[in-house]
Amino acid sequence: MSPLMKKSVRNRLVTGLVGLTLAVGLTGCSNDDEETLGDTIDASDTESLEYVPASADGPAQNVPEPNLPAVATENSEEGAEATLEYFWETEEYARLTGDTEPLALVSSEDCEFCFESIQGWEHSYGEGEWVVLQGELQIEITEVQLGDDEERSQPVAHVFFELDEPGIDFYENDGILHQDSFDKPDIKKWVSLLYFDATGQRWEVEWLGLEESVTWVE
């Protein structure tokens, strides 16, 4: 199998990543109240909070967090596919919430694209900005090449896929639409490099880029 030469990492579609800030208000209980917090708040109520999409009026609320499927822990083609699909689910989740922990779970520390995305959304939290997605991100995996990296003594996967990204509206903290917004879907062919961590029993995204930016070595 020909290894990928990591010549460059794809520039972000937009120069500035933005996120959102969720303000959580806590209501205090007086000492005179006879009811305890456990009596007044039912755990099931928090689990059934209705999802509110982002809009020009404000960021999304109660966004469901993606779940890493069990198959993603397998050293297999299906495991690599499931991990990459989860990666993009968590990327979309980060766009809507600013929460990057799920994204970091399957991102290698050496992944520049991952680092830029994680740092970008977290930074935007402090700016009080948010995102409105004009549709859902769609991924179609077209090919998976499994092999072994002898130098690192790790299983490796090259995953080729087509990414359909929806238009995005970026809102600044004052509610003004940012100039970096774009309203047309963007469909591109991508390729990713994943390594399987036997200790952690999961795949990690090492590199991501447009297929046209890759140089193959014979």
DSSP designation for 12: P
> How many beta carbons lie within 10 A of that of residue 23, not counting itself?
6
Spatial separation of the C-alpha atoms in residues 60 and 170, rounded to whole Å = 13
Q: What is the pTM of this model?
A: 0.76
pLDDT reported for residue 196: 98
Query: Which CATH number is 31-216's, of 3.40.50.300, 3.40.1710.10, 3.90.550.10, 3.10.450.50?
Result: 3.10.450.50
* Structural domain spans, the chain: 31-216
Over residues 159-176, the pLDDT tens digits come to: 999 999 888 888 988 888
Spatial separation of the C-alpha atoms in residues 132 and 21, rounded to whole Å = 14
Over residues 188-211, the pLDDT tens digits come to: 999 999 999 999 999 999 999 998
**Residue 215 CB burial class (10 angstroms; 0-12, 13-18, ≥19):** exposed
Distances in whole angstroms, Cα of residue 140 to Cα of each of 74, 85, 107, 136, 199:
20, 9, 20, 13, 29
Asked whether the predicted pLDDT for residue 13 surpasses 60, the reply is: no
